[in-house]
Amino acid sequence: MNENSGKCLLLFQSIHRVMQAERIISSLGISYQIVPVPKEFSSECGMCIEVLCSSNNILVAELQRNNIFFNKVKVHI
């Protein structure tokens, strides 16, 4: 399977960062949704952002430019 196909989860340290990232993703016009953090990825009890893996390049650059650090995991269905 191509790395840019399917859906990816972006995991952040805090709700603050999730909301910062949401503002950026929204301003880029990228399709996304906020979903619970799956327990297999983290002990967080909060939220993460699901995007199409194909939107990664521009998104990663913009989040890094804003010093928003995150982990990306591919969703396997």
Partner 1 sequence: MGNFYFDNSATSHPKPPEVSEYINIYLKGGGTYGRSAYDRVIAVSRVVENARLMLANLIGTKHTAHIFFTSNSTHALNLAIKGFSYPKKRILISPLEHNAVTRQALHLQQTFGVDYDILPHHSDGFIDLDAIRKLNLKLYDLCIVNHVSNVNGIIQPLDELKTLIGAVPLLVDASQSAGYIPIEADSWNIDMLALTGHKGLMGPTGTGCLFVRNPELITPLMHGGTGSRSDSFSMPHFTPDRFEAGTPNVLGIYGLFGALSAKVLPNFNAEAFKGLLDLIAQLKTFKLIRSASFNRQAFLFSIISNYFTPSELANQLFKRFGIETRSGLHCAPLAHKTLGTFPKGTVRISLSKYHTPGDLNYLYTALKELDHERK
Residues ≥6 apart with Cβ < 8 Å to 34: 18, 22, 47, 48, 49, 50
The smaller minimum CB distance to partner 1, of residues 3 and 36, is found at: 36
Distance in Å, CB of 15 to partner 1, minimum: 4
Nearer to partner 1, 45 or 77 (CB): 45
Q: Is the dihedral of CA 63, 65, 70, 75 positive or negative?
A: positive
Element (H, E) at 9: strand 7-11
Q: Single out the residue of 44, 52, 54, 62 in contact with partner 1 (rule: CB under 8 A).
A: 44
**Does position 14 bind partner 1 by CB under 8 A?**
yes
Closest to 52 measured CA to CA, from 2, 10, 13, 8? 8
Of positions 24, 30, 47, 52, contacts partner 1 by CB under 8 A = 47
By CB under 8 A, tell whether 48 contacts partner 1.
Answer: yes
- Binding status of residue 15 toward partner 1 by CB under 8 A: yes
